[in-house]
Chain A
């Protein structure tokens, strides 16, 4: 019996509020040193009110949700668009569900719709994942 079926909800992952420390640690660990995420002076010169979160930080949170649910070796594809900027103080929740079972190259895969959203419900990342059954 496959343990992935259409309609399954992926257990949600709720993150702590985004802080400047979160962004500093992610900048260092990820190698994304773009100053717009860590230097308020630079962010203001770029026309932003303050630093804001790396999109890839939230994608990494979505990745955590996926690998908490299924082992990473079953992940075949993972994609998203960045729909809105995540600001300091935002509380991000990752959610997803299995919407379809497809066959690709002789392998059955669960196609999952996934999203990250703020507490207001505004979506920040919208994407999908393909996970082997």
Chain B
């Protein structure tokens, strides 16, 4: 059984620079063809100040922290048995190339199903830009196969 006392645990906050080249690489990797995600002048022509981060990019901010998936170490997980159960994003603003985004993440629930064969870890994250604006929130459920 995963350590239920870790419910409420807050991971150290960290700040990530959203780089234009990284956004272009991300766009390429997902096959994005809309030029606003790769070309600054196309983004500006569409009314954006510069290249926006695509809707799921907040998850990549999570992965750019000082430790890849700190939940693994905290709960002593075997990464080969972790599956992604669900993912939710709320958009309160936009993230753009050049932004510095501060991520904060905490564990909000740990529970099990099927007599403990599957355990679920729910984490919530928030994303705040360099101007102090809360631009997004995420809620993620990981599934652990015991």
Contacts and interface: CB of A to CB of B under 8 A. Distances in A.
Contacts of A25: 28-29
B62 to A, nearest CB: 8
Contact of B87 (A16, A30, A42, A56): A56
Interface residues of A: mostly helix, strand, loop or mixed?
A: helix
Given A56-B56, A68-B34, 8 more contacts: A15-B31, A16-B31, A57-B29, A64-B32, A67-B34, A72-B94, A78-B89, A82-B87
Given A31-B64, A46-B80, A80 B86 contact: yes
A77 B26 contact: no
Nearest to B64: A31
Most chain B CB inside 10 Å of its own CB: which residue of A60, A67, A77, A78 = A60
B46 interface: yes
Interface residues of B: mostly helix, strand, loop or mixed?
A: mixed
Interface in A79-105: 79-82
Interface of B: 22, 25-26, 28-32, 34, 46-48, 52, 54-56, 59-60, 63-64, 68-69, 78-91, 94, 139, 141
A67 B85 contact: no
A45 to B, nearest CB: 7
A20 B132 CA distance: 40
Contacts of A45: 80
